[in-house]
Amino acid sequence: MPAPRSLWRRSTLWALHLLRALAMSTTAFGVTLGIGALGALLGALSAPGLARRFGPGPMMLTALAGTPLTHVPVLLASPGLAWQAAIGAALILRLGWASAVGTTQRSVRQVITRSDTRGRMQAASTWLTAGSRPLAALLAGTLGTRLGVRPTLVTGACLLLVPLAVLARSPLRALRKMPDPPSTPNREKGPLCHRRLPPRRMPHRPTARTSGRDAR
């Protein structure tokens, strides 16, 4: 579900809330983002091991269930160093879980998709994800203007439950190991683009030398 995530993470409301409402300095804000980037790196590195131990489905469900909780410190915070540390710790978990889920779900898609359609699959996924960001940014700005920054952030956190509900109702919730790749299509009986066409026989054309001998 790209739209709820974009509404929350791709808008500037989060930064606006930290810098204005919580009076966070630009230095502290940069340090917080840097710490969060370390969480994303750790999530990507630990994703394969977590998927093997707990299964891709349960691991993604747990991460999606915990992601909305990481927004609680931002919504309850007040100016102060202690809250800034809490927000940084929550950002580590948030980006770590997001990175682990993203790595795992892309791996699952690549495995279950035939090699001759992976390009189209990835193009459709990128189109849905990137194409929703301008609309989500417009929606976030509109809600922030009409409702206020904090209520809009609460709305974005609640929308993060949508991917969890979709995954919980899908067969992926019981996926305990990476699925097997689909069988390769038979090149003899598959689509026309995979068939081996017989070599084309060119008609024999006598050369000039052969024509002269025949004339004699």
Whole-number Å distance between alpha carbons of 64 and 105: 12
Q: CA quadruple 78, 80, 83, 89: dihedral positive or negative?
A: positive
pTM greater than 0.85 (yes/no): no
pLDDT of residue 13: 85
Q: Please give the backbone phi and psi of residue 11, each rounded to the nearest 5 degrees, phi first.
A: -85, 170
Q: Would you state the pLDDT for residue 76?
A: 92
Over residues 16-74, the pLDDT tens digits come to 889 888 999 999 999 998 988 999 999 999 999 999 999 999 999 999 999 999 999 99
- What does the DSSP assignment read for 147-175? H-HHHHHHHHHHHTHHHHHHHHTSGGGG-
Looking at the chain, the number of H-run helices and the number of E-run strands are 10, 0
Residue holding tokens 């609460």? 154
Q: What is the CATH number of domain 2-178?
A: 1.20.1250.20
Residue in 16, 40, 51, 158 with CA at minimum distance from that of residue 97: 40
Residue 5 contacts residue 139 (beta carbons within 8 Å): no
Q: Are 152 and 161 in contact (CB under 8 A)?
A: no
The residues spanned by each domain of the chain are 2-178
Convert the pLDDT of each residue in 129-188 to its tens digit: 888 788 888 888 888 889 888 898 998 888 889 989 998 998 888 888 888 777 665 544
pLDDT at 2 (0 to 100): 43
Output DSSP code: residue 58.
H
Q: Considering only residues 97 and 199, tell me which one the structure prediction assigns the higher pLDDT.
A: 97
